[in-house]
């Protein structure tokens, strides 16, 4: 503000000084009002930007939370499926081990029957069984190379044939069960 000297006593000068002072004050007030409005506008703009950023971040947080929940459910379902598959495969392996044990027992029973009939050369048969274990594609034994016992008595021949037929049918049943279990294992494995 401009200080005016009041030492002069001119009539009307006082009103002019007052008008000038009033005008200067109005200018200062208008300038302050403009600055205040600019500050309010800047403040409102920054508040609006902050609010929009908060809303955007909350939306992103909700989206990430939803994705994390979906991923968690998916992983839990996959783990549950893997656990069920593992348990099923363990059951299948256990059943196969039981069947293998039963088949081994039957092989031993056949060996003892062959021993009782007079066949004593099991080394070639054992070698064939070991080869079969090494290469699962080979048959257990080649029946054309296995010597058949001399069956001179017809009654013994019928008993042995019935025994062999029953063993063959039980082996066929086991073989069918093994095939079914293999198919089930493959189905569950590929699911």
Does residue 8 fall inside a structural domain?
no
Q: Are 92 and 184 spatial neighbours (Cβ–Cβ below 8 Å)?
A: yes
Does residue 5 fall inside a structural domain?
no
Does residue 101 fall inside a structural domain?
yes
Q: Are 85 and 188 spatial neighbours (Cβ–Cβ below 8 Å)?
A: yes
CA distance 81 to 105: 36
Q: What is the pLDDT along the chain (191 residues), one digit of tens a residue?
A: 445 555 555 556 688 888 899 999 999 999 999 999 999 999 999 999 999 999 999 999 999 999 999 999 999 999 999 899 888 889 899 999 998 998 888 888 877 777 777 766 666 656 666 676 666 543 444 444 444 444 444 555 565 566 656 666 666 776 777 777 767 666 655 55
User: Is this model's pTM higher than 0.85 or not?
Assistant: no
Does residue 1 fall inside a structural domain?
no
Q: For residue 169, what are its two tokens?
A: 């049918």
Number of domains present in the structure of the chain: 1
Does residue 56 fall inside a structural domain?
no
CA distance 97 to 104: 10
Structural domain boundaries, residue 171: 82-190
Q: Are 167 and 110 spatial neighbours (Cβ–Cβ below 8 Å)?
A: yes
pLDDT at 66: 95
Q: What are the DSSP E strand ranges found in 69-118?
A: none
CA 139: distance to chain centroid? 39
DSSP 134-161: HSTTS-S--TTTSPPP---SHHHHHHHH
Exposed, middle or buried by CB within 10 Å (0-12, 13-18, 19+), for 65?
exposed
Does residue 19 fall inside a structural domain?
no
């Amino acid at each position: 503000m401009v200080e005016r000297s009041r030492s002069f006593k001119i009539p009307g000068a006082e009103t002019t000084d007052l008008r000038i002072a009033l005008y200067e004050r109005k200018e200062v007030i208008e300038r302050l009002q403009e600055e205040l409005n600019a500050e309010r506008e800047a403040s409102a703009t920054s508040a609006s930007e902050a609010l929009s950023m908060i809303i955007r971040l909350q939306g992103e947080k909700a989206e990430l939370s939803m994705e994390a929940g979906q991923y968690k459910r998916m992983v839990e379902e996959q783990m549950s499926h893997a656990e069920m598959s593992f348990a099923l495969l363990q059951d299948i392996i256990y059943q196969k081990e039981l069947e293998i044990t039963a088949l081994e027992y039957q092989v031993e029973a056949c060996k003892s029957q062959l021993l009782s009939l007079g066949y004593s050369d099991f080394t070639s048969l054992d070698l064939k069984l070991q080869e079969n274990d090494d290469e699962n594609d080979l048959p257990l034994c080649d029946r054309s190379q296995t010597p058949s016992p001399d069956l001179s008595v017809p009654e013994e021949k019928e008993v042995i044939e019935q025994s062999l037929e029953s063993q063959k049918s039980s082996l066929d049943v086991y073989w069918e069960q093994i095939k079914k279990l293999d198919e089930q294992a493959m189905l569950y494995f590929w699911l």
